[in-house]
Structure 1
Amino acid sequence: MLLSPFEWTIAKRYMLPGKGERFIALVAGISLFAVMLGVAALVIVMSVMNGFRAELFEKIVGLNGHAIIQAYGGRLDDWREVLKEVKATPGVTRASPLIEQPLLASFNGRVEAILVRGNTPEDLGRLQDKVQAGSLADLKPGADSVAIGSQLAQNLGAQVGDMITVINPQGRATPFGTVPRQVAYRVATIFEIGVYDYDQAFVVMPMQDAQTLLLTGDTIGMIEVTTTDPDQVGPILAPLTRKLAGRAAVSDWKKMNASLFEALAVERVAMFVVLSIIVLVAVFNILSSLIMLVRAKTRDIAILRTMGATRRSLLKIFVTTGFCIGMLGTLAGLVLGFVFLYFRQPIVRLVEIVTGQNLWDPSIRFLTELPARADPVEISVICVMALLFSFLATLYPALKAASTDPVQVLRYE
């Protein structure tokens, strides 16, 4: 809907009402500000929700793979043959043996529940970019060295070089009963995954050391699998599930974290709907400001009609006036939203200082920092929605202005 020079001149004049119409200008300014806040809120919240899901997915799946093959009874005796079958499955990019067992760890009188993980040297290397202190090179079979999470190190008060004791309740039998097995390990590395539950529990060691600690011999508990497409992990591993029926269970990341990711999906939809109402309320301000503008400009409209302005021209003028308010509010909202996302961590710290409250407790939020990831498609949907609402809000006032009868108006003016 292109405007002629005459129509654009009148539209610009109506976008900046005169001195006697300051109240209309105030309402229009409030409309623009409200649209800006609504769009910014949508951009910020949806980007944070996307970032939260993406960060959780990357950290959880990055550590546990896309699926886990777990033996019935907790021990997979013929694991080497099963590992070959898994690697030969189309769509599988990586498969690694894994030992995982909940135990206890103590240091200087402090005791914490831990999750011991026995990994291959290749899998231990995946922690390289997560290391905070120490070196992964010290994690060698038989060296009695371990890597522990940063939060666990804080809870125990342990540092690199300290000796922690890992307690296995399944110890040796004596005439006085079973004595728990206690093995001392040197803390060689402290790492931070970024997921609080992992950082406070994981104790990682070479697989051979884990087998010795747990007295399992040459067996493992599970196989970690990574596929070409995490969203298609079910169909990819379906043939393997049938082959291993009766020997092992195949659980993908969707099953293992179903409640968490489903809750995030429901929350994303709910937040989008609720915040969309803010934008809808904002465009009602555009509607009210245009209605007042039409009432204030009734005589001008009648004069324009007598000078030859068509109903279509008047329609285009008032639609453009209202739509420009919505468009400027949308653009300002995008800028405000991206600025907030860029400085999100300093803003969170500032609010914490002002309020004295811990807004981002990792023990509750899972992640150590507030994440954000803008989705171009989602941002486009937000912009289109805001512009569409703004356009619809202009239709009634514009039609009212276009239907003005100049004869009736001028007769009583």
Structure 2
Amino acid sequence: MFQPFELAIGLRYTRAKRRNHFISFISLISMLGIALGVTALITVLSVMNGFERELRQSILGMAAHATISAFEGGLDSPDAVSELASRHPEVIGTAPYIEGEGMARRGGTLSGVLLRGIDPAQEPSVSIVGDRMVAGSLDDLMPGEFRLVIGVELARALGLAPGDKVDLMIPQASVTPAGLTPRFRRFTVSGVFEIGMYEYDRSMVYMHIDDAAALYRLGDRVTGLRLKLSDMFAAPRISREVADELPGFVYVRDWTQQHANFFKAVRTEKLVMFVILSLIVAVAAFNVVSTLVMVVTDKQADIAILRTLGVSPGSVTMIFIVQGAVIGLIGTALGLLGGITLALNVENLVPALERLFNQDFISGDVYYISELPSDLHWNDVIKIALLSLALGLLSTIYPAWRASRVQPAEALRYE
């Protein structure tokens, strides 16, 4: 008795057992449709957030937040440049590197690789490769020993294990009495890493920076310096400030210049998936429209009696808005429960399904990562809940308006 009149009648219509069971069935389908749409939206957006997080960690864990390089011929005096760059308070790590492309050969098997010469003492300050070793260590890379650390997928492709020999060829020629021959050197595999990103695990090869300098005949020069920043999202600003402090002609690039388009594409895909999956909720909302239209038709006599008792058209409108809102609220609540539960457990559910069906759903040689991650963002959950509730309320406007237009005399003529 303490409830508002329209709310009480609307809840009574929602709870009441209808004579027309078909209307009850359509109401149930509407609730389940909204719940399914909300569940799908939360789960898919959480998975896409997980993809973006894993890609950012993998790419920026192997690539650099920023790099300093010479325009041509290599960077002279890398120690002096590193000292100047480290003076910036937001530069938390620097490491020199030598980079180039090559070909790895073992027996009759060849594979293209990306060669990177590193200083094992400084590399952990700018990359995660030292933490992802499955065999050996970066400290095994000793100058003059010509040892390699390779990715796990490359090791499988060439059949390599720590202690095995592998030939590396680079696209630079050596002049010999027999003419020009490709430059190559035999290395020993001393370690294997696994980043979890197929592109790096299949093609990246590490060696000591002194061995790389000897192979590429760079002398004391290096390709450049890699920087790790305290805030990677401030990389453009920090890169400009570091460049202003460096003498001579150097080229400073940050990760947003190298990988910005990739992350923009991921965000665009996320937006498109949000719009597409929102259509599921919209279709369920149309079911609410049809449900309420049938309820209005079924309750015309009740509406007419209420009107004769002095109930205004606005109150009749609110009664059916309440009824439709309850359907949307219940469907949204069920969807939130299912979506949050699924998003929090999808990382365990997918491997279980792969084992059950003996099928690899996320193939590493097709996708950038080999596992299905999930990262639930509560702002996405709130956004989806508000969207679902808004669509539910919008779907009640026409049926409620139609109910308010019922004429008591017409409705009661044949009663």
In the superposition, the TM-score normalised over structure 2's length comes to: 0.89
Cα contact 2:162–2:189 (8 A) shared by 1: yes
Cα contact 1:148–1:204 (8 A) shared by 2: yes
Establish whether residue 123 from structure 1 lines up as the match of residue 91 from structure 2. no
Distance 2:10 2:352 in 1: 43
Which residue, out of 252, 255, 260, partners 1:253?
255
Structure 2 residue aligned with 1:220: 222
Q: Against the structure 1 CA distance between its residues 396 and 19, is the aligned structure 2 distance closer, same or farther, given a 3 Å change threshold?
A: closer
Give the match's secondary structure for 1:59. Answer: helix
Distance 1:281 1:246 in 2: 62
Distance 1:261 1:388 in 2: 30
Measured after TM superposition, the shift of residue 16 of structure 1 is: 4.1
Q: Against the structure 1 CA distance between its residues 92 and 137, is the aligned structure 2 distance closer, same or farther, given a 3 Å change threshold?
A: closer
Distance 1:399 1:189 in 2: 73
Structure 2 residue aligned with 1:208: 210
Cα contact 1:196–1:362 (8 A) shared by 2: yes
Structure 2 residue aligned with 1:95: 94
Structure 2 residue aligned with 1:383: 385
Structure 1 residue aligned with 2:346: 344
Distance 1:272 1:264 in 2: 12
How many correspondences in the alignment? 412
Distance 1:31 1:107 in 2: 62
Structure 2 residue aligned with 1:144: 146
Give the match's secondary structure for 2:122. Answer: helix
Measured after TM superposition, the shift of residue 394 of structure 1 is: 1.3
Cα contact 1:169–1:179 (8 A) shared by 2: no
Cα contact 2:148–2:188 (8 A) shared by 1: yes
Cα contact 2:239–2:253 (8 A) shared by 1: no
Structure 1 residue aligned with 2:84: 85
Question: Where does structure 2 lack aligned partners over 5 or more consecutive residues?
Answer: none
Q: How does 1:13-28 map to 2 (within 5 A)?
A: 13-18=12-17, 20-28=19-27
Distance 1:327 1:161 in 2: 63
Aligned-CA RMSD value: 2.7
Q: Percent identity?
A: 36
Cα contact 2:65–2:254 (8 A) shared by 1: yes
Comparing 260-269 and 119-128, the one that deviates more:
119-128
Measured after TM superposition, the shift of residue 26 of structure 1 is: 1.0
Establish whether residue 39 from structure 1 lines up as the match of residue 41 from structure 2. no
Question: Where does structure 1 lack aligned partners over 5 or more consecutive residues?
Answer: none
Which residue, out of 304, 307, 329, partners 2:306?
304
Comparing 351-360 and 95-104, the one that deviates more:
351-360
Measured after TM superposition, the shift of residue 32 of structure 1 is: 0.9
Letter in 1 for 2:290: S
Cα contact 1:99–1:117 (8 A) shared by 2: yes
Residues 210-257 of structure 1 show CA distances to partners (whole Å, capped at 9, x for unaligned) of 222322221110111222322221122213335669722222112112
Measured after TM superposition, the shift of residue 400 of structure 1 is: 2.9
Measured after TM superposition, the shift of residue 368 of structure 1 is: 1.4
Cα contact 1:17–1:25 (8 A) shared by 2: no
Measured after TM superposition, the shift of residue 115 of structure 1 is: 1.1
Cα contact 2:154–2:201 (8 A) shared by 1: yes
Structure 2 residue aligned with 1:4: 3
Give the match's secondary structure for 1:20. Answer: coil
Comparing 202-211 and 162-171, the one that deviates more:
162-171
Measured after TM superposition, the shift of residue 153 of structure 1 is: 0.6
Letter in 1 for 2:325: F
Distance 2:142 2:321 in 1: 72
